[in-house]
Amino acid sequence: AQKITQTQPGMFVQEKEAVTLDCTYDTSDPSYGLFWYKQPSSGEMIFLIYQGSYDQQNATEGRYSLNFQKARKSANLVISASQLGDSAMYFCAMRRGSTLGRLYFGRGTQLTVWP
């Protein structure tokens, strides 16, 4: 069975500081994809970053980077230079295979950025 664990229900970070949101996953599939989404209070899920299980390098997208440690089955999201607008719920998700297929979500981490 596929499982995503986010152990931090809430995180606080000061503006302009970096923050790491933890995510561990469990799967026996050799091919899978890992995703991070941001959900502001408005409700829409915003795609942030993707890491494929066969990707050799950690994914980066602007201020977002994914610290992928395959042996430890972890896919932590690092947000650099936090902004007030980063305050939101963050979800880690996994999909089996490389295309199609449902997403398995963690419970999320509520990030609060304070000035």
Task: Give the nearest distance from C-beta 79 to another protein in angstroms.
Answer: 19
95 binds another protein (CB under 8 A): yes
Task: Give the nearest distance from C-beta 63 to another protein in angstroms.
Answer: 19
Identify which range of 13-21, 22-30, 78-86, 97-105 contacts another protein by CB under 8 A: 97-105
Size of residue set near another protein by CB under 8 A:
23
54 binds another protein (CB under 8 A): no
CA distance 39 to 114: 18
52 binds another protein (CB under 8 A): yes
Q: Is 38 exposed, middle or buried (0-12, 13-18, 19+ CB in 10 A)?
A: buried
Using CB under 8 A, which residues numbered 28 to 47 contact another protein? Answer: 33, 35, 37, 42-47
Positions in the binding site for another protein (CB under 8 A): 33, 35, 37, 42-47, 50, 52, 91, 95, 98-105, 107-108
